[in-house]
Amino acid sequence: MKSLEELKAIRDRVKNNVTLRKEDADAIRVVVGMATCGIAAGARPVLAAFTEEVAKRGLTNVMVTQTGCIGICQYEPVVEVFQPDGKKTTYVKMTADKAARVVTEHLVNGKVVEEYTIGSISNLK
Amino acid sequence: MYRSHVLVCGGTGCSSSNSQQIIDALETEIAAAGLADEVKVVKTGCFGLCALGPIMIVYPEGSFYSEVKPSDVPEIVQEHLLKGRIVKRLLYKETVQENNVKSLNETNFYAKQHRVALRNCGVINPENIEEYIAVDGYQALGKVLTEMTPQQVIDTILASGLRGRGGAGFPTGRKWSFAAANQADQKYVCCNADEGDPGAFMDRSVLEGDPHVVLEAMAIAGYAIGASQGYIYVRAEYPIAVHRLQIAIKQAREYGLLGKDIFGTGFNFDIDLRLGAGAFVCGEETALMTSIEGHRGEPRPRPPFPAVKGLFQKPTILNNVETYANVPQIILKGADWFASMGTEKSKGTKVFALGGKIKNTGLVEVPMGTTLREIVEEIGGGIPNGKKFKAAQTGGPSGGCIPAEHLDVPIDYDNLIAIGSMMGSGGLIVMDEDTCMVDIAKFFLEFTVDESCGKCTPCRIGTKRLYEMLDKITRGEGTLEDLDKMEELCYYIKNNALCGLGQTAPNPVLSTLRYFRDEYVAHVVDKKCPAGVCKHLMQVTILTDKCKGCTLCARTCPVGAIEGSVKVPHVVNQAKCIKCGACIEKCKFGAIVKK
Ligand SMILES: Cc1cc2nc3c(=O)[nH]c(=O)nc-3n(C[C@H](O)[C@H](O)[C@H](O)COP(=O)(O)O)c2cc1C
């Protein structure tokens, strides 16, 4: 170790490896539906894409996790984003590419990607 | 990038209940489910709640699984890791609520704790230096070497109010400044990881869960006093701690955090391990250094103090593991931060090893000044089986018993001394109404008699005589005069023994005499042991009106002391009875009693 900068560089490189282990009430939660229906519809690559993108951008305030079936199997893969203020957004028929866009627009810039939400895709509304 | 981390405790407690098998099973199942790139298994140090081991925490959800068996692993992998469904039946009961799962930090066991020394235990992988660096590890050493003078380091430690966690509570900054003031061609930094108190395991847990914190702090101490060599004296009975220290030292050397020219500042510091054979006296500072030098571990008189003439006759500081574990945080967060915790004269936190008659046995770290009641009733979850609290023993064989009347005293160094006990290294053994206080005093004296090194007469012979008097009392052969003689002998040993072992050995006797004299008197005058522990003072008898003559007790008795024929009340032959109580446990009619 030749300098403090060198140590700081190592810390910055490995810091994200342990941030997952903090319980943070103020985090944005990204919840991917991973029941049988979700997995069959391709939820695994979606989950992986969220994990990758969040790590790549060093977003320490985002927690990516899974849940079981939420009952709208025809719209799987379903992803719900919970903001600390209680606001919930439900994205449906997700893919890895769509996940990347949600990370950039919604998680980083705070703009919901309306066209992927359940409101735009289903004709329920 | 992993989306989930599964932390499994690899401390001594959980390891002995097979946590390694769980880790192996996890890795196999995770690979089979195709999750090897998504889920990482991390073997950590102790989480503290040893009573419920083996323990596993799954992040990011923070699900706390307790008493996990290898056979539970497939379900955890399939349900939780693959499908995101938390396995509720394995969750720590207290975290399960109607609709959601409570955070671990809100449970009684953790809510009042404040982790400074244990901050990384159960959080990082102790065998990977990069995980320690990720949580600001070695930043304090970097700061000290590049931004502070040795005097500033000492001033910071002084201002923090940190006192030694090894027992005596000597101000750490003062110790360092004495050693810094003595000029010598070579000085040493030693770490006391002997931890000989029965029931204490906090130092072991720090070494197992966060070994680098000790290395970093020793290097900081080396810079402060002008030493380039450190030794950690650790007992060989702690194989996991030794193994992780070896790995940590090797990695720290590879990263240039130990060795020559650290951070390019010209500061050299290295650390070696010395294994102790597990003698209690070797935890005493002068005996420890004698042992490192390669001699038989016996104490020597002080002065000269180690800061003047210590290891190999050179100025030396010796600190306890937990003392060191506080140092890097003090440097990074400042003396004021540390001094804001605790009481007026005892700053910071203290780790206690909770044991005995208590629900949540394990490791707890609380701010100084927390009351015994909070530790026993809230964090510890109270006493099992509806029994009543009788006393808590702190300070191990050098400490004393604290009765219920002092449950609300804020615990710190000075208050414990005032009520006749001491902090010691932090063992805290809870006793219920089934404990005989004379027997407890005898237990600790038996330990000191065994562990006395024999160098000085007051300790070698005095503790033996004291033990014999206690034994006499538990046999019902003592007199009231013996109680006074015993007390006199206690003070004689205290005032004349060479080292701390002998000087504190009478404490368990003195404190039980002070608070539980009536129990001693009951043994002496009434020839009774009120708690029903001392075998010579009780009889096992069968109540004729309750006995149905089922013969079960007679068949159970290992020495054939129960006589009688079928359907006729039985009797105990007192000459043969060894009072083991096996018959009492077996009797279905509650017809056998001990009194
Ligand atoms: C008989 C005896 C046993 C001791 N055992 C230990 C021990 O196991 N660990 C420890 O840190 N200190 C032990 N001590 C206290 C040490 O002598 C010394 O005070 C302490 O290690 C200094 O470190 P500190 O100032 O950081 O507490 C023991 C003292 C005596 C008299």
List, for residues B391-403, the tens digit of each pLDDT value.
999 999 999 999 9
* Neighbouring C-beta atoms of residue A39, cutoff 10 Å: 17
What pLDDT digit, counting tens, does each position of B350-391 carry?
999 999 999 999 999 999 999 999 999 999 999 999 999 999
Using a CB-CB cut-off of 8 Å, the residues of chain A touching B59 are 20-21
- Per-residue model confidence (pLDDT) at position A125: 42
The β-bridge relationship of strands B259-262 and B540-542 is unpaired
Token look-up 């593991």 returns: B321
What phi and psi values does residue B166 have, to the nearest 5 degrees?
-80, -10
Residue B117 CA to residue B224 CA, distance in Å, equals 20
Q: Is the C-beta atom of B426 inside 6 A of ligand 1?
A: no
**Dihedral over Cα of B520, B524, B529, B530: its sign:** negative
A3/B contact by beta carbon, under 8 A: yes
CATH topology of domain B129-339: Rossmann fold (3.40.50)
Confirm if B499 and B460 have CB atoms less than 8 A apart: no
Architecture of the structural domain at B539-594: 2-Layer Sandwich (3.30)
Residue A106 CA to residue B134 CA, distance in Å, equals 28
A80/B contact by beta carbon, under 8 A: no
Confirm if B127 and B244 have CB atoms less than 8 A apart: yes
Token look-up 């109607």 returns: B98
The partner residue sitting opposite A10, judged by closest CB among B62, B124, B130, is B130
In chain A, where the domains are located: 24-121
* Neighbouring C-beta atoms of residue B563, cutoff 10 Å: 12
Which residue minimizes the CA distance to atom 22 of ligand 1?
A: B319
- For B255-317, where are the alpha helices, taking DSSP H only? 285-292
Pocket test for ligand 1, best of B220, B285, B318, B507 (most atoms within 8 A of CB): B285
Region B437-526: CATH code: 1.20.1440.230
What phi and psi values does residue B41 have, to the nearest 5 degrees?
-100, 130
Select A24-121's CATH number: 3.40.920.10, 3.20.20.70, 3.40.30.10, 3.40.50.300: 3.40.30.10
What pLDDT digit, counting tens, does each position of B37-68 carry?
999 999 999 999 999 989 999 998 889 999 99
Q: What is the mean pLDDT of residues A55-84?
A: 87
Residue B101 CA to residue B406 CA, distance in Å, equals 36
In chain B, where the domains are located: 4-108, 129-339, 349-432, 437-526, 539-594
| Type and span of the H or E element at A32 | strand A28-33
Q: What is the mean pLDDT of residues A1-10?
A: 91
Using a CB-CB cut-off of 8 Å, the residues of chain A touching B262 are 1
Tokens linked to B334: 């400042």
Share of chain B above pLDDT 90, in %: 89
Partner residues linked to A2 by β-bridges: none
Residue B404 CA to residue A42 CA, distance in Å, equals 62
Residue B419 is which amino acid?
I
Which residue minimizes the CA distance to atom 5 of ligand 1?
A: B283
CATH topology of domain B349-432: Ubiquitin-like (UB roll) (3.10.20)
Strands annotated E in B13-149:
39-44, 56-59, 63-65
Residue B462 CA to residue B451 CA, distance in Å, equals 13
- Residue ranges of chain B with per-residue pLDDT less than 70: 98-100
Name the DSSP class of B427.
Answer: E
B76/A contact by beta carbon, under 8 A: no
Q: Which of B117, B314, B287 is nearest to B194 (CA)?
A: B287
What average pLDDT is seen over chain B?
A: 94
Q: Is the C-beta atom of B235 inside 6 A of ligand 1?
A: no
Burial A65-74 (b: 16+ CB within 10 A, else e): bbbbbbeeee
Architecture of the structural domain at B4-108: 3-Layer(aba) Sandwich (3.40)
Q: Which of A52, A29, A38 is nearest to A99 (CA)?
A: A52
- For B302-357, where are the alpha helices, taking DSSP H only? 321-333, 335-339
CB contact under 8 A, B255 and A14: no
Q: Which atom of ligand 1 is nearest to the CA of B324?
A: 26
- Smallest CA–CA distance, residue A123 to chain B, in Å, is 28
A125/B contact by beta carbon, under 8 A: no
A68/B contact by beta carbon, under 8 A: yes
